[in-house]
A and B are shown apart, each in its own frame.
Chain A
Amino acid sequence: MKICIPSKGPDIQDLVDERFGRAPYFIIYDTESKMTEAHVNSTAGAMGGVGPKAAQFLLNQGVDSLVTERVGGNALEALKAGGIMVLLYEEKGSTVANAITAFLKGNLKEQ
């Protein structure tokens, strides 16, 4: 299963970005292979509609769950329609690695 964390940088030691659509990077972690991939969010700098655009990117990547602090209404609707589970992670100033650990422990609640 693939999980995605919006991030401020390309490394798992970088901080989780509190936004979804405007996060500069998406880090995708595969729970089977335990591999991570960093993707530049190419639409972070668009004028508008960044939430839906980012949701489309996750759908295209075959992501199963999104771990994020916040997600807008349109993006949430798109993620749910695409069968992506949205899990809230509200720990401020935390690293991507910590967010992955929290996910693996299974104590994140669904939005």
Chain B
Amino acid sequence: MTTRMKIAIASGKGGTGKSMVAANLAWALAQSDRVTLVDCDVEEPNLHLFFPPDDPESTDVQVSIPAFDNSRCTLCGDCAGFCAFGALVVAKDRVLFFPEHCHSCGGCALVCPAGAITEIQRPIGTVTIRHLSAHLSLVTGTLNEGEVLGVKVIREAKRYAAKPGWLVCDASPGTSCPVVETLHGSDFCLLITESTPFGLHDLELAYSVTSHLGIPVGVVINRSDGKDEEVRRFCNERGIIVLATIPFDRWIAAVQGSGDLISRVDPAWKERFIALGGACRSSVGGT
């Protein structure tokens, strides 16, 4: 029987090793199971850097934008008056449209009394699928530079990834809407932290989001220097299990820095990541 389990990987800030955990976990689990790894850090996707280059398939992510029929437009200004995002300006002889401000709400077409506005599609990013092995695929959402609707790209990336097996979604850092979108619908969330005061502070922030969404969590302490008392106390007080501790180690940093995976280089780490996946599954009562 195939596992169906959606795990999100998140952290209150960047640089905690979220992507490293996501890539290692996915790679290790894919030794025996089907795994789809989803890079939801659409502003700076970099999970693909951990894997050898291959032949990716890309699809555009499109949003609706208004198109104007100048023969009908009366320059009344209702559309610009409605637009909450400042995407429209009605000048003396035409309507100006600033696509990067448009949220695709469709309101301008709705309020236009002259029926001069229709909607057309515009690409804002891509979803790229890479088949890395028989069991492992990577879905990468990429938001084009200068665009703002990352949430839309995340939603599309997750839609492409809706397959049986493990789904491992790497969120963007922080606590904002893209993170909420990534976490939405997850069975479990792994919060990655470091054993520093910064790490604890950021863990608190990330935990406030998962609690808000009602998603069960486990913690991974990364780059631990052994002084983890504060993080462990925080977890104990809230009944959060620390599922794994990855020590700070120059060897790990070097493997990582060169774009490799510790679970690919060292069988012991592969086993540890497989065990981490198992622990996530048992935490939500799966088998």
Chains A and B touch (C-beta atoms under 8 A apart): yes
Binding site for B on A (CB under 8 A): 43, 46-53, 55-56, 59-60, 74, 77-78, 81-83
With A74-B101, A81-B94, A81-B96 known as contacts, the answer to whether A52 contacts B84 (CB < 8 A) is: no
Main secondary structure of the interface of A (DSSP, over half): helix
Contact B89 A48 (CB under 8 A): no
Q: CA of A88 to CA of B93 in the docked complex: distance in angstroms?
A: 25
Contact B91 A81 (CB under 8 A): yes
Contact A83 B92 (CB under 8 A): yes
Q: CA of A55 to CA of B80 in the docked complex: distance in angstroms?
A: 11
With A74-B98, A81-B96 known as contacts, the answer to whether A48 contacts B90 (CB < 8 A) is: no
Of B77, B86, B92, B93, which is within 8 A of A51 by CB? Answer: B86
Contact A49 B101 (CB under 8 A): yes
Q: CA of A52 to CA of B94 in the docked complex: distance in angstroms?
A: 14
Contact A59 B91 (CB under 8 A): yes
Q: CA of A82 to CA of B213 in the docked complex: distance in angstroms?
A: 46
Report chain A residues within 8 Å CB of B90.
56, 59
Q: Quick one: CB contact mask for B61-101 with A, threshold 8 Å, 1 for yes?
A: 00000000000000001001001111111111110101001
Report chain B residues within 8 Å CB of A53.
86
Contact A50 B86 (CB under 8 A): yes
Of A51, A56, A74, which is within 8 A of B80 by CB? Answer: A56
Of B84, B89, B92, B94, which is within 8 A of A55 by CB? Answer: B89
